[in-house]
Structure 1
């Protein structure tokens, strides 16, 4: 496998081998300008320190066990990491669990498991990154050709990591040979083409003493269309 990824321009940084057809985590890098150092590794999580571009942060790659009883070890491991680090932190992968009933379609929802998962993320100071394109990340057909869909995969970060990459968001890509959708984190966001910037309104503007008069003057003007009136404001 190392030779295969090497031909594609990647080199392995952290590896947890699969047991048969289950589990396994490969952390690969194609950017030699970034320094990647393994901090902790267990069968459900590999955590690295990434240093490059004038930034340093912690990245945890997760593959939660399909067995709920085994995921207790993962939750405990994440809690320990949260107590040990101060750098910005992002956690990405297949948690094999969901946070709410809205993250499952056609399958069972276990509130106790969700509560433990949510409590773990909260205690670690982790919250979901903005996600686009798809609501669910895992799909499976069962008896009667009925489909189950869940949001098992996600990216979570601390407030410090969000400040480091304020435009970052997660794109849920199309799946092909797997029952999981790949996740792509775009740290720089999507650039807006010149001339197509959306209109934004700051609530603080309404507190300015001249706010009402300025809006009235621009809006009552009969010389311009709506677009020019908004620009006038």
Structure 2
């Protein structure tokens, strides 16, 4: 069977998942890590902000997605995105489920000419080489 569990676990895996405020207790974090081991679950990591909960004084990563090895083998290119806050004090998580690597093509940046380049001694050679290169489109 394959498993994906995501949500607010109300505990961190380590004090690296916390910013400011008093450190979390070692025993509850150790119990949380052991619970993941006992359930054969692994944290999927994240893209975006590390912290998923905040108050006026502290930020913590309390929300996460965990998967078992079977799920990880079925969907090896999945990822977890931390989305921006909206109406809650927790950031929502988006789990992108992918069995294959998804390649996104970015639009090339627009070329902008800087007047100072014309003053460079090698400018005519660079332009001539550029015009000689084959291009499509």
TM-score, reference length from structure 2: 0.71
Distance across 2 between alignment mates of 1:194 and 1:169: 18
Per the alignment, residue 155 of structure 1 pairs with 65
Distance across 2 between alignment mates of 1:149 and 1:190: 32
Distance across 2 between alignment mates of 1:111 and 1:130: 21
Per the alignment, residue 110 of structure 1 pairs with 25
Mapping for residues 177-188 of structure 1, pairs under 5 Å: 177-188=87-98
2:102 to 187, 191, 198: 191
Per the alignment, residue 38 of structure 2 pairs with 123
Q: 1:111 deviation in Å?
A: 0.5
Cα–Cα, structure 1 residues 100 and 163, in superposed 2: closer, same or farther, change >3 Å?
Answer: same
Per the alignment, residue 93 of structure 1 pairs with 7
Q: Tell me, which stretches of 5 or more residues in structure 2 are unaligned? A: 107-137
Cα–Cα, structure 1 residues 192 and 103, in superposed 2: closer, same or farther, change >3 Å?
Answer: same
Q: 1:110 deviation in Å?
A: 0.8
- Whose Rg is larger? 2
Question: What SS does the corresponding residue of 2:89 show, helix, strand or coil?
Answer: coil
Distance across 2 between alignment mates of 1:185 and 1:131: 9
Conserved 8 A contact 2:45-2:64: no
Distance across 1 between alignment mates of 2:101 and 2:47: 12
- Alignment root-mean-square deviation, CA: 1.9
Distance across 1 between alignment mates of 2:102 and 2:11: 33
TM-score, reference length from structure 1: 0.43
What number of residue pairs does the alignment pair up?
105
Q: 1:190 deviation in Å?
A: 6.7
Greater RCO, 1 or 2 (C-alpha within 8 Å, sep 6+): 2
Moved over 4 A (4+): none
Q: Tell me, which stretches of 5 or more residues in structure 1 are unaligned? A: 1-86, 142-146, 196-233
